[in-house]
Structure 1
Amino acid sequence: MKTFALLLIGLLTQAQPMMKEKPVSKGELLEFKLSYGWFTIGRGSFRISDEPVYRNGKECIEINVEGRTAGLAGVFSKVDDRWGAVVDKKTFLPHYSYRDLSEGDYDLDEKVYFDYDSMRVRVESSTASEGQRPTKFFDMEKNNVFDMMGGLMHARSIDYRSLKKGDTVKLDAFFDKKFYDFSMVYHGIEMIKTKVGEIYCHKVVPIMQKNSVFDGENAVEFWISADANRLPLKVSADMNFGTAYCELTSYKNVKSGIDFN
């Protein structure tokens, strides 16, 4: 489910005007569908912990994401992936993140630790075929580098009302043993039809770096609900094999409003 991870990565942001009331709710559960054309190829979930956890004396939230194949896709290659992180409740900066991937013949168990005193990232990983790999260290040049989970929460907390169409949002992230420097362009408010209803959304378009996955600089589009929940409603991605979609299908325990199942 690397595609699912890459779609989420596009929402990592920093240094933007933030909402006073951040859309953090205990026990929040979001369910997603990943599709290609008419076919559902995967399902995913995003869950915030019921209770706070503490790291280095700071209150944090724990986030866990699951992604798995569905429908005909599971016949050809079974995927059962899990990602997660412990991030600061106020800043969403990561203290710890993990990936537990099972994708056909490929597997990975990875743990990432962010040390802001030494400004280093420590990565420990292993696979069934290789066993424990050597521990790797990476130097952080900035103290506001997000992982995938914290970056998504930060993106949901941006006060998009303070942005104008065409404004560019800068971002820094660490994922898969690499530092990323992205930009995305704000495209204003749109009403779109989604699996959870017709909703006004903030649309953002990342400027994609040249890679072997996405087709073009503006290949990915995101829609985030323009309400108190700032729900990640839909992602559209033009890829080398066609257009893939990631859509929110249900939610519960959100900041405002009732559950949608």
Structure 2
Amino acid sequence: MKFTLMMLIGMLTQAQPMMKERPVSTGEVLQFKLTYGWFTVGRGSFSISDEVIYRDGRECLKIDIEGRTAGLAGVFSKVDDKWGAVIDKESFKPYYSFRDLSEGDYDLEEEVFFDYDSMRIQFEQASAKEESPRPTKYFDIEKDGVFDMMGGLMHARSIDYRKLEKGDRVSIDAFFDKKFYHFQMVYHGIEMIKSKVGKIYCHKVVPIMEKNSVFVGEDAVTFWVSADANRLPLKVSANMKFGTAHCELTAYKNVKSGIDFE
């Protein structure tokens, strides 16, 4: 689940054209299935609260993600992860995010606070197996436009891909797990894919991957985002050392345009 969320962050740009009308809506709920080879190994959900939250006088979105093991995978290692954030409704810059992870014998609680007056990030972690919390760490925000995972996903859905050409590169600066990242991806145009929610025209984006021991091949990871008004994250495919993993959208409701699919 973690690798999928990190890859979704990569679908971003700071300098690319944005849609005038944001495709996301409060109350939206997306359901996903994670497969590895022929097996379903996990399920996840993404939801935007109806609750109105304000930070620095600006209206914000409250987002929650849950991921858990499914099928035979739960027999070997149970995963029950929760992620969340509060982000600006228009710019998608983060104000707060958290992770609450339970993965077999591993557990972690994390909170991140983004302070734009001091231009600093306050990072706190703790584990139930440790007698005391880990020390608070601070990181300087050196420039505007640094996203967290949730804000990055929202930003990705709001890019106006229609104004990009095949081969164009997009990039982003992001903060995740005590590190700043700079991602680059290549736009591959529009193609129709057969998804769990129907045959849909999509924008195809492929990240530029550094050599590593997890992903295989030059185009190891591919993303498809619906080319309609909702810009739904339909599918992620990753060629890995021991097989191919897929994360696919299986249901949605309360989207900004169109009817529910459940």
1:109 aligns with: 109
CA contact (8 A) 2:225 2:235 kept: yes
Alignment of 1:71 with 2:71, yes or no, is yes
1:224 aligns with: 225
**What TM-score, normalized to structure 2?**
0.97
Shift of 1:88: 0.3
Alignment of 1:181 with 2:187, yes or no, is no
- Amino acid across the alignment from 2:226: S
Distance in 2, Cα, partners of 1:52 & 1:214: 40
Alignment of 1:137 with 2:138, yes or no, is yes
1:204 aligns with: 205
**What TM-score, normalized to structure 1?**
0.97
CA contact (8 A) 1:172 1:180 kept: yes
- Amino acid across the alignment from 2:214: V
Shift of 1:241: 2.1
- Amino acid across the alignment from 1:226: A
Distance in 2, Cα, partners of 1:82 & 1:21: 29
1:254 aligns with: 255
Aligned length: 261
Shift of 1:17: 0.5
Alignment of 1:54 with 2:54, yes or no, is yes
Distance in 2, Cα, partners of 1:251 & 1:71: 22
Distance in 2, Cα, partners of 1:8 & 1:127: 26
CA contact (8 A) 1:12 1:173 kept: no
1:128 aligns with: 128
Return closer, same or farther for 1:173/1:216 CA change in 2, 3 Å cut-off.
Answer: farther
Distance in 1, Cα, partners of 2:214 & 2:119: 31
- Amino acid across the alignment from 2:256: K
Alignment of 1:44 with 2:37, yes or no, is no
Shift of 1:26: 1.4
Distance in 2, Cα, partners of 1:209 & 1:68: 28
Return closer, same or farther for 1:214/1:6 CA change in 2, 3 Å cut-off.
Answer: farther
Instruction: Give the superposed CA RMSD.
Output: 1.1
Shift of 1:239: 1.6
Q: Where does structure 2 lack aligned partners over 5 or more consecutive residues?
A: none
Shift of 1:11: 2.4
Distance in 1, Cα, partners of 2:15 & 2:93: 12
Q: Which runs of 4+ in 1 moved over 3 A?
A: none
Return closer, same or farther for 1:132/1:41 CA change in 2, 3 Å cut-off.
Answer: same
CA contact (8 A) 2:59 2:89 kept: yes
- Amino acid across the alignment from 2:29: L
Distance in 2, Cα, partners of 1:27 & 1:171: 27
1:3 aligns with: 3
SS at match of 2:228: coil
- Once structures 1 and 2 are overlaid, which stretch shifts more, 198-207 or 130-139? 130-139
Q: Where does structure 1 lack aligned partners over 5 or more consecutive residues?
A: none
CA contact (8 A) 1:224 1:231 kept: yes
Shift of 1:118: 1.7
CA contact (8 A) 1:108 1:125 kept: yes
